[in-house]
Amino acid sequence: MRGVAILGSTGSIGCSTLDVLARHPDRYRVVALAARQQVDALFEQCVRHRPQLAAMLEPRCADELRARLAAAGVVCEVLSGPEGMEAVAQIPDAGTVMAAIVGAAGLAPTLAAVRCGKTVLLANKEALVMAGGLFLDAVRTHGATLLPIDSEHNAVFQCLPAGFDRDADDTRGVRRVLLTASGGPFRTMPPERLAEVTPEQACAHPNWVMGRKISVDSATMMNKGLEVIEAHWLFGLPADRIEVVIQPQSVIHSMVEYVDGSVLAQLGNPDMRTPIAYALAYPDRIASGVDFLELARGATLTFEAPDLRRFPCLKLAYDALVAGGAAPIALNAANECAVERFLEGGLRFDRIAAVIENVLSRTASEPVQSLDDVRAADARARHLALEILDGRANRGGTTRGIEDIG
C-alpha cells in the first residue's frame, strides 16, 4: 500500500485527489494533509482519512484544528507555518506527494518533497514558472519522479512517445506541443466590456470547477500563459514550439504534433480526477470516478486561435519565457498581486494585464542561480506591483499608479 501526502488538501485538486484515493483503499493510504487556513474542511478530512500528520500555514488555524481533533478523539499530529508544510512534504511514510498549493507559497514544500526523492505529482505550476531550472536540477540530483497534474500537461505526457527525454537533443519526432484552452467565461465578450467584469463573473468558469485565483487566471488566460512556461520546462521545448489553441468544449485536453503530420490528442470529460488518477497509478490506470466520454451523443469539437487583444496576459507570458531569468518570476508575482486586488474589488479586470506589463518593463533580465535569487526577485516584483496598485510607483519623477497605465 502506497502512502500519499497532499499539499493543499482543501483546494479543488486536493479534494479531487482524496476522492480518487478513497476509491482505492487497497492501494493507497493518506498519511499527511496540509492546508492554508480552512479549518473546517481540514478537520473533516482528518476525521475521515485519519492521517498521521496535518499542517496549516496559519498558526492560529493549526491551534484550532489541534483542539478540535483532540476533542473528537482523533490522533493526529498538527504542525503550523512553512515548517509544518515542509514536514508534510517530507514525511517518510509517503512515497507520493500531491503538490497542489496554489501560488508561490507552494514552491518551498514542493522542493522539499523533491529533495526527499519522492514521486511528486505537480499541480503547482508556479514551482516551474518561478524556478524551472533549479527545480529540475533538484529532481535529477535527488532521483525524484515528476508527474504533471495540470490537465494540459498530463495530456501531453500521455501523448508523447515512449522514451521521450526532455534533456535529449533528439525529440523523437515531436514537432510541437498544442496546449488547449477553453477561453474562459469571456471568450466572446467584446473587449470594451471587460472593464465591467466582476469577481463573481470571472470565477464562474463554464467548464471547470476551480478555486477563485485560478479561475481568474483562466478568465485572463494568464493560466494558459503560465502553462506555456511550465510546458517549456517539462518537455524541453522552446516557446515557438508550444502553441495555444482555444477548444471551448474542454474535451481535448492537449495535443502533440509530430514531424510526419500526425497529431495525437488526449480526450475526456473536464474533470481533474482523470489526470490525478493517471499520475497516482502511473504507468497503470485505475478508475477515477469520471463519467466516460460519449462522443456519439452530439459532442462537438471546435477550435480557435486566441485573441491577444482580449487576452494580453497570454502574450506577456510568452514574452517573459523568451526573456528568461527573473522575468517569469516577476510575471507570476505581479499577477498574484493584481488578481488578489481584483478579487478584493480594488482593481478593474481589464487592468490586471497593465499591472503585470508595468512590472515586467521594470524587471532587469538577470540570471536566477539559487532559491535565494528566486525569493529576492519575487519580493522585488511584489513590492513594485503593490506600489503600482497603490499609486506609489515613481518613474522619471512622475508617480504612475494604476489609473495611469491603461
The pLDDT score that the predictor gives to residue 102 is 81
Say if residue 251 is in the same domain as residue 193: yes
Mind giving me the DSSP string for 207-271? S----HHHHHHHHHTHHHHHHHHHHHHHH---GGGEEEEE-TT--EEEEEEETTS-EEEEE--S-
Using only C-alpha atoms, the chain has a radius of gyration, in whole angstroms, of: 21
Cell matching residue 2:
502506497
Report the alpha-carbon distance of residue 328 to residue 82 in Å, rounded: 23
Report the alpha-carbon distance of residue 384 to residue 362 in Å, rounded: 9
Residue 192 counted as domain residue = yes
Say if residue 14 is in the same domain as residue 129: yes
Residue with cell 469539437: 301
Provide the domain count of the chain: 3
Residues 6+ positions from 28 with CB-CB distance below 8 Å: 1, 2, 3, 4, 21, 280
Say if residue 19 is in the same domain as residue 138: yes
Say if residue 193 is in the same domain as residue 274: yes
The enclosing domain of 124 has a CATH number of 3.40.50.720
Cell matching residue 85:
508544510
Q: Which of 283, 167, 303 is nearest to 234 (CA)?
A: 167
The enclosing domain of 342 has a CATH number of 1.10.1740.10
| Class of residue 309 by CB neighbours under 10 A (exposed 0-12, middle 13-18, buried 19+) | exposed
Report the SS3 class of residue 299.
Answer: coil
The pLDDT score that the predictor gives to residue 396 is 39
Q: Strand 119-122 relative to strand 2-7: parallel, antiparallel, unpaired?
A: unpaired
Say if residue 52 is in the same domain as residue 76: yes
- Digits of tens for pLDDT over the chain (406 positions)? 999 999 999 999 999 999 999 999 999 999 999 999 999 999 999 999 999 999 999 999 999 999 999 999 999 999 999 999 999 999 999 999 999 998 778 889 999 999 999 999 999 888 899 999 999 999 999 999 999 999 999 999 999 998 888 877 778 899 999 999 998 888 988 888 999 999 999 998 777 667 788 899 999 999 999 999 999 999 999 999 999 999 998 899 999 999 999 999 999 999 999 999 999 999 999 999 999 998 888 778 999 999 888 899 999 999 999 999 999 999 999 999 999 999 999 999 999 999 999 999 999 878 899 989 999 999 999 999 999 999 875 543 333 444 443 3
Say if residue 17 is in the same domain as residue 134: yes
Report the alpha-carbon distance of residue 245 to residue 268 in Å, rounded: 17
Residue 318 counted as domain residue = no
Residue 205 counted as domain residue = yes
Mind giving me the DSSP string for 81-127? HHHHHHHHHH-TT-SEEEE---SGGGHHHHHHHHHTT-EEEE--THH
Say if residue 14 is in the same domain as residue 143: yes
User: For 294, phi and psi rounded to 5 degrees?
Assistant: -105, 85
The pLDDT score that the predictor gives to residue 133 is 93
Q: Which residues pair with 32 in a beta bridge?
A: 5, 53
Which structural domain range is residue 277 located in?
157-281
Report the alpha-carbon distance of residue 369 to residue 257 in Å, rounded: 33
> Among 248, 281, 314, which residue terminates a domain?
281
Residue 211 counted as domain residue = yes
The pLDDT score that the predictor gives to residue 184 is 86
The pLDDT score that the predictor gives to residue 397 is 33
Residue 241 counted as domain residue = yes
Say if residue 231 is in the same domain as residue 250: yes
Residues 6+ positions from 61 with CB-CB distance below 8 Å: 36, 37, 38, 39, 80
Compute the Cα dihedral for 97, 99, 101, 107 and give only its sign: positive
Residue 307 counted as domain residue = no
Say if residue 164 is in the same domain as residue 270: yes
Half-sphere exposure of 171 (CA within 13 A, CB side): 15
Say if residue 8 is in the same domain as residue 87: yes
Residue 302 counted as domain residue = no
Q: Is the backbone of residue 250 left (phi > 0), alpha (psi -120 to 50) or beta?
A: left
Residue 304 counted as domain residue = no
The pLDDT score that the predictor gives to residue 393 is 59
Say if residue 267 is in the same domain as residue 184: yes
The pLDDT score that the predictor gives to residue 395 is 46
Report the alpha-carbon distance of residue 240 to residue 318 in Å, rounded: 9
Residues 6+ positions from 44 with CB-CB distance below 8 Å: none
Say if residue 6 is in the same domain as residue 115: yes
**Which secondary structure element, helix H or strand E, spans residue 280, and what is its range?**
helix 273-281
Q: Which DSSP category does 304 fall into?
A: B
The pLDDT score that the predictor gives to residue 14 is 97
Cell matching residue 380:
522585488
> Among 98, 122, 148, which residue terminates a domain?
148
Report the alpha-carbon distance of residue 399 to residue 396 in Å, rounded: 8
Residue 60: what residue type? R
> Among 148, 179, 207, which residue terminates a domain?
148
